[in-house]
Amino acid sequence: MLSIIVLGTAAGGGVPQWNCGCDNCRAARTSHAELRATQASIAVSADRAHWFLINASPDLRQQLTQTPTLHPRALRHSPIAGVILSNGEVDAIAGLLNLREGTAFNLYGHQRVLDLLADNSIFNVLKPALVPRIAITHDAAFEPRLPDGTPSGLEILPFIAPGKAALFVEETSANEAGDTLGFVIRDRASGESLVFLAACAALTPEVETYLRGAKLVFFDGTLFTDDEMIRLGLSAKTGQRMGHMAMSAAIPALDGLGIERKIFLHINNSNPALLPGSPERQAVEQAGWQIPADGMEITL
């Protein structure tokens, strides 16, 4: 059995974002508290006792408080056995700082992302003796381990996602394969699996091979249209430039791949599909996609 908890659904900044007065952020602060969302992350488990986080969002502390399954069951304990990083953006790594305080877990990431952690000494608060950093490579499946070395029962296949280096190193680092990964996450016992692809700049034939026939896909839902941030006056960048394929392009592109359940993740606060009843939300739902809420649980 593969258990999934959607800890957070929003893109960097969350909903509402601290400095944003867009329609969605204003509604989330006032009349529509249900729009509030923390930054994207999921937890997965093969046994419901030991969990692996896919990315550690800056909102991790709040996410853990809100998720009883991930609460300690002893004076010093955590069901979190490890963290697997898909990229080095702030919204994927900053939550690691919440996991200090001396509990062991395994930290997996591409060497490109581990190099970013090494370059930022604040992450040394996670002592290597307790939190080993383990390099993963694309197209090499691995079984994440519990801190004592026990196999987790999960198998993770990382693959290259079209993307870019993290925003905070854009000026100093060229983009390289491995900056952004997708994951096929499988329960070894049942064979059930999902595809996690919360940042994807384009749908290449190679990426298609991982998505085709999948039972469950979490896909990049940052923007509804590529020029959304520009039109709203929020940014000068397109979604493509930020490493994100818009929903309006993803919906037709993933249609016909035989995917059973499609869920958008990493949804920016500017995205009009967040608002129930909006034409964009209707388009998303009519195309068979889901906009999730924080705390959603799925079992495969």
Q: Which two tokens stand for residue 252?
A: 């037709």
Cβ pair 292, 40 in contact under 8 A: no
10 binds ligand MLT (CB under 6 A): no
Q: Which is nearer to Mn ion, 13 or 153 (CB)?
A: 13
- 21's CB contacts (< 8 A; 6+ apart) are none
Give the shortest CB-11-to-ligand MLT separation in angstroms: 6
Contact of residue 54 among Mn ion, Zn ion, ligand MLT, none (CB under 5-8 Å per partner type):
none
Which of 2, 9, 91, 217 binds ligand MLT (CB under 6 A)? It is 91
Task: Kindly list the distances between the CA atom of residue 80 and the CA atoms of 40, 47, 60, 61, in Å, as whole numbers in the listed order.
Answer: 17, 12, 12, 13
DSSP-derived 3-state class of residue 253: helix
89 touching ligand MLT, by CB under 6 A = yes
Out of Mn ion, ligand MLT, Zn ion, none, what residue 167 binds, judged by CB under 5 to 8 A for its kind, is ligand MLT
**Token pair belonging to 143:** 């079984």
Look at residues 42, 37, 136, 127 and name the one whose alpha carbon lies nearest to residue 80. Answer: 42
The least distance separating ligand MLT from the CB of residue 87, rounded to whole angstroms, comes to: 8
Contacted entry of Mn ion, Zn ion, ligand MLT, none for residue 25, CB cut-off 5 to 8 Å set by kind: Zn ion
Interface with ligand MLT includes 59 (CB under 6 A)?
Answer: no
Instruction: Indicate whether 197 belongs to the interface with ligand MLT (CB under 6 A).
Output: no
Minimum gap (Å) between residue 34 Cβ and ligand MLT: 23
27 neighbors 269 (Cβ within 8 angstroms): no
By CB under 6 A, residue 12 contacts ligand MLT: yes
User: Which of 242, 247, 254, 291 touches ligand MLT by CB under 6 A?
Assistant: 242
Contact 299, 1 (CB under 8 A): yes
